[in-house]
Amino acid sequence: MIDQAAAELVPLVGVRAGCAAVGEARARWYRRHRQSPPPPTPERAPQAQPRALSEVERTELRQVLNSPAHVDEAPATVYAKLLDQGIYLASVPTMYRVLRAHDEVHERRRQATHPAAKKPELLAARPNEVYSWDITKLLGPVKWTYFYLYVILDIFSRYVPGWMLAHAENAPLAQALLADTAVKQGIAHGQLTIHADRGSPMVAKPVAFLLAELGVTKSHSRPHVSNDNPYSESQFRTMKYRPEFPERFGSYQDAHAFCGRFFGWYNHEHRHSGIGFHTPADVHYGRAELVRAQRAQVLNGAYTKHPERFVRKPPEPPALPTASRALRPQAARAAGAANRGVDQRAEGGPRHDTVIPEGTCLRKVDTRRISHWTHRRARGTHTAVSTTDRQVPRPRSHRARVV
């Protein structure tokens, strides 16, 4: 109606007076009654990013990534290896962009993802401070036959100081491996902590007595928690996801030869993402700083040649690790005993675990359930159980994917 009234007044008194009389904005009037066509919108031609790789450089990069030497490796590993050879082709994100442009980036297997939970932990600030060890099965030549691989892993350097392949899983074999590794690495009394799950060889009395004699602190995963030994589980995954890992081993000699090749590659050639893409041997024996300095020289040369390709700052090689963390054992179970200053004893043998101090960080669900249990005990609504046999309720655990 306002527009109709303005249309009747404008021919008589003009646009300004007519719009003022009906309270209409002149700009709106002109927009609605424009006689000339709107100005054409210019088409924007796509422009190439001036810092992007040329087509020749992208082709060369893709050929290197798909070469037999690097086709089964992640771009970050290829990046680190090329730097060690004095070659810089592109950054890791650029490698992914080139591969993604040709539909060559896919997850090879279905992976479950779960949010990370903050848990109690051990801290390793140097090599030979915290070890993790575990046993995995390797399929034999026929069904129901297995070979047992014992592996000890330094969680700071990811170096494997000792491993053994056997026909059985028992405490005497584990005892011999641990003693031999401690001698080879020159472990001093009170220097080392060894973390493991609750398998029968790990909690056996002979192993406990040996560790006590060597002055080694032993720790174990929480009962019924499957992912409290992540470093060893991740190392087994690396081995079993190798392209040359067979479905079955034809004999003990075949499995032993494969393990010898794998651990030689793992310790001295594998660029581990958890230690700045250095080899475990370089970190374990203190050579990583020199390798990082050489990588920095290669990156400085690349920056000098093409500074426009590095927008935020000059490139730097990945940082060296400062500390590695392992899950703190007996977190929920020892929490009740921590305030009383007593040592919880495991069934079937002596304990050498350190009582968790007051204020240790626990998972929220564990804390709530412990509080609930204490409340029930105060009200007298629970069944009387001795201190050493009482089981604190646990949250349901899920095996998370290790990055």
Return the pLDDT at 379: 52
pLDDT at 2 over 90: no
pLDDT at 224 over 90: no
Return the pLDDT at 12: 85
Query: Cα 160–163–165 angle (5° rounding)?
Result: 150
Chain centroid offset of residue 139 CA: 27
Share of the chain above pLDDT 90, in %: 49
Task: Confirm whether pTM is higher than 0.85.
Answer: no
Return the pLDDT at 33: 78
Average pLDDT of the residues in 394-400? 36
Exposure on the CB side of residue 199, measured as CA atoms within 13 A: 18
Residue 266 vs residue 197, higher pLDDT: 266
Residue 270 vs residue 24, higher pLDDT: 270
Helices 205-214, 171-184: axis angle to 10 degrees equals 20
Tokens, residue 5: 């009234």
Return the pLDDT at 34: 73
Write out pLDDT tens, residues 37-96: 777 888 888 888 888 899 999 999 999 999 999 998 999 999 999 999 999 999 999 999
Return the pLDDT at 325: 63
Tokens, residue 218: 């032993």
* Mean predicted lDDT score pLDDT of the chain: 79
Write out pLDDT tens, residues 365-380: 344 444 544 555 455 5
Least confident of 118-127, 129-138, 292-301, 392-401: 392-401
Chain centroid offset of residue 313 CA: 26
pLDDT at 389 over 50: no
Return the pLDDT at 391: 40
Q: Pairing relation of β-strands 121-124 and 324-327? A: antiparallel
Return the pLDDT at 240: 95
Neighbours of 137 (CB within 10 A): 12
Return the pLDDT at 323: 77
Residue 40 vs residue 318, higher pLDDT: 318
pLDDT at 340 over 50: no
Reported confidence tier of residue 393, pLDDT bands at 50, 70, 90: very low
Average pLDDT of the residues in 308-336? 69
Least confident of 40-49, 253-262, 285-294, 324-333: 324-333
- Three-state SS for the chain is CHHHHHHHHHHHHCHHHHHHHHCCCHHHHHHHCCCCCCCCCCCCCCCCCCCCCCHHHHHHHHHHHCCCCCCCCCHHHHHHHHHHCCCCCCCHHHHHHHHHHCCCCCCCCCCCCCCCCCCCEEEECCCCCEEEEEEEEEECCCCCCEEEEEEEEECCCCCCCEEEEECCCCHHHHHHHHHHHHHHCCCCCCCCEEEECCCHHHHCHHHHHHHHHHCCEEEECCCCCCCCCHHHHHHHHHHHCCCCCCCCCCCHHHHHHHHHHHHHHHHHCCCEHHHCCECHHHHHCCCHHHHHHHHHHHHHHHHHHCHHHCCCCCCCCCCCCCCEEEECCCHHHHHHHHHHCCCCCCCCCCCCCCCCCCCCCCCHHHHHHHHHHHHHHHHCCCCCCCCCCCCCCCCCCCCCCCC
CATH architecture of structural domain 120-276+321-403: 2-Layer Sandwich (3.30)
What is the chain's length?
Answer: 403
Reported confidence tier of residue 119, pLDDT bands at 50, 70, 90: low
pLDDT at 128 over 90: yes
What is the dihedral sign for C-alpha 113, 118, 120, 123? positive
Provide the residue ranges of all domains of the chain, joining segments of one domain with +.
Answer: 2-32, 120-276+321-403
